[in-house]
Amino acid sequence: MSELLSIENLANLGVLIFLQAVLGFDNLLYISIESQRAPEAQRAMVRRSGIIIAVALRIILLGVMVKLLASLTEPIFHIQWQGVVEGTFNFAALVFLVGGGFIMYTAFKEITHLLALPDLSVDPSQKRHKSAAIVIAQIVLMNAIFSFDSILSAIAITQVFWVLAAAIVSSGIAMLLLADAMSDFIQKNRKYEVLGLFILLIVGIVLLGEGGHVAHLKLFGYAVEPMAKATFYFSIFVLVVVDIIQSGYQKKLARVRDLQLQA
């Protein structure tokens, strides 16, 4: 017991909880946006159920990955089209590539739908409901894909199962506490839904880059490099700052127009 509660394990637990919190932001954002597609009365239940099931599956995935870590990096197939496409694909690379592609598709689809709305006063989530089961399944699936990167990063820090599991449970509790608040904020401030979708678009690009890097993918002779986490979060920071400034500027213009109309 004393070995389990050693200073090293406790320090690793603190690092992993912080890591899960940082890497879990995009996951929480996806849950908040995707849950809007469920019937309104079931959205809170969908978020809670999706997160709880996803955390349980994440712990199972953790156990499998700890046992089979070596096999995850074994090549499945190769592509050698000299000078055009070259790469060696394993399970990890395929998860990143498929997940990144799906997230980008989802973000593009939702952005296109928002632009196509004939009446901006109508909440888009009210027009296209999915069943609660489908939304929960999508949340669990995407949670597993988001988790893959964070679990690999966590295993690089420690392979003590209880430390890894405790960090996962902690992140799940945090998502349960924050999911409703973030979803309500997005629903009440619809302009930020577009911002969230563009952030998800960047997340998809990050996953594609990670998958290409793991596969040692080369396109037209150029190696695909992963986006640095610092670059990713700086991009999000810039998007948020620009959106805040733009919103303030639009409000100022609206006040000036109102004053001119009253004069």
pLDDT digits 0-9 by tens, 67-110: 776 667 788 888 888 888 889 898 878 878 887 888 788 778 77
> In the chain, pLDDT over 70 holds for what percent of residues?
80
On the question of pLDDT at 117 being above 60, the answer is: no
* pLDDT value of position 205: 85
Average pLDDT, the chain: 77
Q: Please enumerate in sequence order all residues whose Cβ is within 8 A of that of 212, keeping only pairs 6 or more positions apart, or say none.
A: 87, 93, 97, 219, 224, 225, 226
Model-level pTM? 0.65
How big is the CA angle at 179 (ends 127 and 45), to the nearest 5 degrees?
65
Cβ(88)–Cβ(78) below 8 Å = yes
Cβ(198)–Cβ(239) below 8 Å = yes
How big is the CA angle at 219 (ends 214 and 225), to the nearest 5 degrees?
40
Domain boundary assignment for the chain: 7-227
Q: Please enumerate in sequence order all residues whose Cβ is within 8 A of that of 245, keeping only pairs 6 or more positions apart, or say none.
A: none
